[in-house]
C-alpha cells in the first residue's frame, strides 16, 4: 500500500500543475476531469497526513508510558487508549481510498426490477422495491426517469425499468443486482401462513457511444400503439417502440414517453446499457475463473438478500449482514447496507 500512497501523492502534485496550465482552463472537459481527480487525491493526502500525525502521537505516548513517573505513565495510557482506535479508523479509510476507482462508478444507471416466483405477491414486492430505490434516490437528490412500467393485477408491478441520474449512481447501486427474496404473510392469506416470493434486480451502467457501437443494420425497429393508462398521445398513436438487436437477440421496448422519437431514444439507452452489461458480465466471468469473486460479480442467479417481515429482518447473504429494521430500509434507508457491500468489494479488490 505504501507504493500506492506515494504514487497517489505524486499524481496529486502532477494534477495541480496541469490545472494551473493556461491550456487546461480553455478545455472545460479536461478541467472538470482533473478537478474531480484532484478532489479524490486530496482526500487521500488528507488521510495520509492525519495517519502520519496520529502515528507520531502514538509513538510519543508509548515512549512516555515507559517513564518512571507514575503520573506520566497514567497520562500516556489514556492517550494511547484514545489515539489507537482513531489511528485504526484512519488507516482503514486510507486503505479504502487507495483502491483504484472503477471508471464506471460515476455513470448513471438503468435499473430493471422484475417479478419472479410468487405470482401477485411477487408483483407487490416489485412495487415495494421500486418505492425503496425511489426513496433512496430522493435522499441523495438523484433524478429518476421511468422507462417502462408494467402494472400487476392487484396493485403490484410486474416489471419496472427506470434510469437514475446522479453522482456515483452506479458505484452506489451496482451491488443491488441479483435475486431479492421476501418472506411475509400476504393480505389474501386467511390462515396466516408465510409465503416466499422473489424479484430480480438488474443495475446496468449507462453506456456511452464509445462503449458500445451499434450499427443501424443490426437493429429491427417496430412501432405499435401504447397500452395502459390513457392520456394524450397514449392509446391513440403508434408511439410505442420495440427494438431488437439482431446479433444478440436482445429486445427492448418503451411506451411511457409521449412521442415515438422519445420512446426510441429511451429504448436505445436501455439497449446500450444491456449490451454493455453483457460485456462486463463476460469480463467478470473471466476474472471469476482466475479468482473466486465474492461481491459484485453481477451473478443474478444467486439469492442476494432476504426481507423477512415477521422478524423485521433484512439479511444480505453475500456478506452475512443482518439488520433488524426492515421498514426503514424499505423506506429508502440503504446507506448501511450499501456501505458494507462497498467495503467488502474494496477488500476483495485489494486481495
Q: What is the pLDDT of residues 163-185, one digit of tens each?
A: 999 988 999 999 999 999 999 98
Give the separation between CA 56 and CA 287, rounded to whole angstroms: 41
DSSP one-letter code for 265: H
If one counts every other C-beta atom within 10 angstroms of the C-beta of residue 141, the result is 8
Looking at 37, 71, 97, which one is the last position of a domain?
Answer: 97
Residues 325 and 194 in one domain: yes
- The pLDDT value recorded for residue 190 is 60
Number of domains comprising the chain: 2
Residue 334, all three cell numbers: 440503504
The proportion of the chain whose per-residue pLDDT surpasses 70, expressed as a percent, equals 88
Cell 401504447 -> residue: 226
Residues 92 and 112 in one domain: no
pLDDT at 343 > cutoff 50: yes
Length of the chain: 351
Looking at 97, 129, 150, which one is the last position of a domain?
Answer: 97
Please report, for residues 284, 296, 299, 321, the alpha-carbon distance to residue 304 in angstroms, rounded to integers and kept in the order given.
17, 11, 9, 11
- The pLDDT value recorded for residue 98 is 84
Residues 204 and 313 in one domain: yes
Residues 321 and 200 in one domain: yes
343 vs 41, which has greater pLDDT? 41
Looking at 74, 97, 120, which one is the last position of a domain?
Answer: 97
Binning pLDDT at 50, 70 and 90, where does residue 296 land? very low
- The pLDDT value recorded for residue 93 is 85
Residues 129 and 14 in one domain: no
Which residue range(s) make up the domain with 26? 2-97
Residues 88 and 120 in one domain: no
Average pLDDT over residues 333-339: 94
246-276: buried (b, 16+ CB within 10 Å) or exposed (e) per residue? eeeeeebbbbbbeebeebbebbbbbbbbbbb
First-to-last alpha carbon distance for the chain, in angstroms, is 12
**Residues contacting 216, CB < 8 A, separation 6+:** none
Task: Give the pLDDT confidence of 31-42 residue by residue, as tens digits.
Answer: 888 988 898 899
289 vs 118, which has greater pLDDT? 118
Pairing of strands 303-308, 178-184: parallel
Task: Give the pLDDT confidence of 212-270 residue by residue, as tens digits.
Answer: 888 889 999 988 877 655 444 445 567 889 999 999 999 998 887 778 888 888 888 88
- What's the CATH code of the domain at 31? 1.20.58
- The pLDDT value recorded for residue 172 is 92
Binning pLDDT at 50, 70 and 90, where does residue 97 land? confident
Residues 300 and 339 in one domain: yes
pLDDT at 295 > cutoff 50: no
Average pLDDT over residues 118-130: 92
Average pLDDT, the chain: 85
Residues 83 and 179 in one domain: no
pTM over 0.75: no
Amino acid at each position: 500500500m505504501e507504493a500506492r500512497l506515494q504514487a497517489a501523492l505524486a499524481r496529486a502534485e502532477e494534477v495541480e500543475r496541469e490545472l494551473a496550465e493556461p491550456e487546461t482552463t480553455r478545455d472545460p472537459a479536461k478541467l472538470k476531469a482533473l478537478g474531480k481527480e484532484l478532489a479524490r487525491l486530496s482526500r487521500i493526502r488528507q488521510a495520509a497526513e492525519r495517519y502520519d500525525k496520529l502515528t507520531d502521537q502514538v509513538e510519543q505516548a508509548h515512549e512516555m508510558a515507559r517513564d518512571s513517573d507514575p503520573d506520566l505513565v497514567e497520562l500516556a495510557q489514556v492517550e494511547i487508549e484514545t489515539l489507537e482506535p482513531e489511528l485504526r479508523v484512519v488507516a482503514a479509510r486510507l486503505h479504502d481510498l487507495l483502491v483504484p476507482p472503477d471508471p464506471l462508478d460515476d455513470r448513471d444507471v438503468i435499473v430493471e426490477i422484475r417479478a419472479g416466483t410468487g405470482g401477485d405477491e411477487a408483483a407487490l414486492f416489485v412495487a415495494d422495491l421500486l418505492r425503496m430505490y425511489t426513496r433512496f434516490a430522493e435522499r441523495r437528490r438523484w433524478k429518476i426517469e421511468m422507462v417502462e412500467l408494467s402494472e400487476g393485477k392487484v396493485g403490484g408491478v410486474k416489471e419496472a425499468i427506470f434510469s437514475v441520474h446522479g453522482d456515483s449512481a452506479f458505484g452506489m447501486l451496482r451491488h443491488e443486482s441479483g435475486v431479492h427474496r421476501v418472506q411475509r404473510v400476504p393480505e389474501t392469506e386467511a390462515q396466516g401462513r408465510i409465503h416466499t416470493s422473489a424479484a430480480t434486480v438488474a443495475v446496468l451502467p449507462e453506456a456511452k457511444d464509445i462503449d458500445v457501437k451499434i450499427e443501424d443494420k443490426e437493429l429491427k425497429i417496430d412501432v405499435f400503439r401504447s397500452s395502459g393508462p390513457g392520456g394524450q398521445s397514449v392509446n391513440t398513436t403508434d408511439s410505442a417502440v420495440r427494438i431488437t438487436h439482431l446479433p444478440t437477440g436482445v429486445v427492448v421496448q418503451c411506451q411511457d414517453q409521449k412521442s415515438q422519437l422519445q420512446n426510441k431514444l429511451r429504448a436505445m439507452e436501455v439497449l446500450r446499457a444491456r449490451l454493455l452489461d453483457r460485456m462486463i458480465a463476460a469480463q467478470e466471468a473471466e476474472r471469476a475463473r482466475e479468482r473466486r469473486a465474492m461481491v459484485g460479480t453481477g451473478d443474478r442467479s444467486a439469492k442476494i438478500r432476504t426481507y423477512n417481515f415477521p422478524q423485521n429482518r433484512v439479511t444480505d447473504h453475500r456478506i452475512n449482514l443482518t439488520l433488524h429494521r426492515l421498514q426503514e430500509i424499505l423506506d429508502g434507508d440503504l446507506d448501511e447496507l450499501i456501505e458494507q457491500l462497498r467495503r467488502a468489494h474494496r477488500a476483495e479488490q485489494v486481495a
